[in-house]
Amino acid sequence: MDDGLIRQTFQSLLSAKVAESAAREELATASASASAPAVTTVPSFPPPMLDAMKRSWVANVQKGAACASSVSSPTRVMSELISGLRVRHDTARATRDGLVLIDIALRPSDDRYVALQVLRDFDYTRNTGQMMGSLQFERQVRFAFSVSSEWVTFRAPLLFFLP
């Protein structure tokens, strides 16, 4: 089976889990009215297939980490600026579960970090300024499964900073 198709299937599974999580939260906060939303059903897969899908997804996230660490990437440029300020941080760090990449993780202490997302002009639509779908999905997965700390989005044209 094609690796891209395997990742798309896993993305669909993650999307269903995010929707289920959101529905459960809404159900918990909704009144006991008849208009309370139903909790979605997440499809199930045999464990070997689920493991193969997650391995493919995580391998793709790791490829993204390698690209984010390249010399001319905006993430690398931001990391160099932060290093110049002598702030402890990690660059292109995968979350504990490996599902998403944190562009820059500022580390105010050893047991806590603040995730910083570096966005470029092409990460937003030109007409409405809305974040592209892939980044919205990544953010939803990050909040639903991975990050339980502060999250900061830095949106600035980084062409000024590139060498």
Q: What are the pLDDT tens digits along the chain (163 aa)?
A: 788 888 888 888 888 888 887 777 777 776 545 555 555 577 788 999 999 999 998 898 888 888 877 777 888 888 898 999 998 998 888 887 888 888 888 887 777 777 787 877 777 787 887 877 777 777 777 766 665 544 555 554 444 443 4
- As a whole number of angstroms, the distance between CA 139 and CA 133 comes to 10
DSSP state of 38: P
Number of domains observed in the structure of the chain: 1
pLDDT the model gives residue 155 = 52
User: Which domain, by its residues, includes 71?
Assistant: 3-160
Dihedral angle over CA of 129, 135, 141, 143, nearest 10 = -50
Residue 1 CB partners (closer than 8 Å, separation 6+): none
Q: What is the pLDDT of residues 4-15, one digit of tens each?
A: 888 888 888 888
Q: Tokens 């600026």, residue?
A: 81
